[in-house]
Amino acid sequence: MTALAAALSSDARAELSKVRAFLRRDLLTAWSYRVAFFSEWVQLAFQAALFYMVGRIVNPATLPTYGGTRATYMEFVAVGIAVSVFVAVTVARVSAQIRQEQLAGTLEALLLTPTTPATIQLGSVAYDLLYVPIRMGIFLLLVALGFGLHFHASGVPAAALILVAFIPFVWGLGIASAAATLTVRRGTSAISYLLTGLMLGSGSYFPIAAFPAWLQGLARVNPLTIAVDGMRHALLAGMSGGELLRTAGILAATSVVGVIGGALAFRVALRRERRRGTLGQY
């Protein structure tokens, strides 16, 4: 039994060490596209400037309060942009990665190595799961400095914890999207619609109070709303330990469901493609 456990653990370690190889591959690839690498930042800067202008015509009275203080629209929306862009970019990259591998002919080469599908899934997104949150943090820092936003430094660890609890959910969405890509090639629309719905109904750009009453109820159980709202509380007002645990706990539970659902969808898609014999087709 101990030998079996040791073998399993050694196998798991070997699989995890492969994730580092994926990280290196994707870092080298990203660095080879330096112009795209920097243009993403320029795009984010334009988006921030746009919302700054929008913020000047928004009535502050319509915005929620955090810790008794009313946020400015820029403070409110900066967190929303950061989290929404994080979700959109991560999901897009996770599913695009599989499509990219299909088109490049490398998916078959990957699947012909003695690597588990789970490692391939994790490895394919490891770079984005690390890079995108870092990019999000830097964006928030630059926006706070550039537009004079009042974020609580003490809320940063709590915001980071919320993000960590939320990342697997986004990954799960990405895997589900990848499964759709694997099965219907360009048919990621279903996931795109779901994603757009999640983002629109999350209060990322507008307060939930602005939604119709029936939508407000749905928005409150939207995991993205919970993450965005939690991070706003953490960064704009600080967060008590109890509040933080509650938020992170809900997100962690949602993440478990998201990852299991995504992994199952991918497994089913892979199995279906092998049965149909169309795995390497594009």
Least distance in Å: CB of 274 to other proteins?
6
- Closer of 111 and 194 to other proteins (Cβ): 111
Q: How far is the CB of 111 from other proteins (least distance, A)?
A: 6
Spacing of C-alpha 175 from chain mean position:
11
Conformation bin of residue 200: beta by default, left when phi > 0, alpha when psi is -120 to 50 = alpha
Amino acid identity, residue 280?
A: G
Please say which residue, 32 or 59, places its beta carbon nearer to other proteins. 32
Q: Which residues bind other proteins (CB under 8 A)?
A: 14, 17-18, 20-22, 24-25, 28-29, 32-33, 104-106, 108-116, 274-277, 279-280
244 three-state secondary structure: helix
C-alpha to C-alpha distance for 126 and 118, rounded to whole angstroms: 12
Which DSSP category does 153 fall into?
G
User: Least CB distance from residue 90 to other proteins, whole Å?
Assistant: 21
- Of 212 and 277, CB closest to other proteins: 277
Q: Which lies closer to other proteins via its Cβ, residue 186 or residue 275?
A: 275
Whole-Å CA distances, 185 to 14, 96, 101, 193, 242: 31, 10, 12, 16, 44
CB of 226: closest distance to other proteins in angstroms? 37
Q: CB 32 → other proteins: shortest distance, Å?
A: 4
Q: Please report, in angstroms and rounded to a whole number, the separation of the first and last CA atoms in the chain.
A: 44
Determine the residue type at 164. V
Specify the residue, 122 or 167, whose C-beta has the smaller distance to other proteins: 122
Place of tokens 């049965």: 275
Beta bridge partners of 66: 69
Rounded to 5°, the CA angle 22-26-30 comes to 175
Tell me whether residue 62 or residue 106 sits nearer to other proteins (CB atom). 106
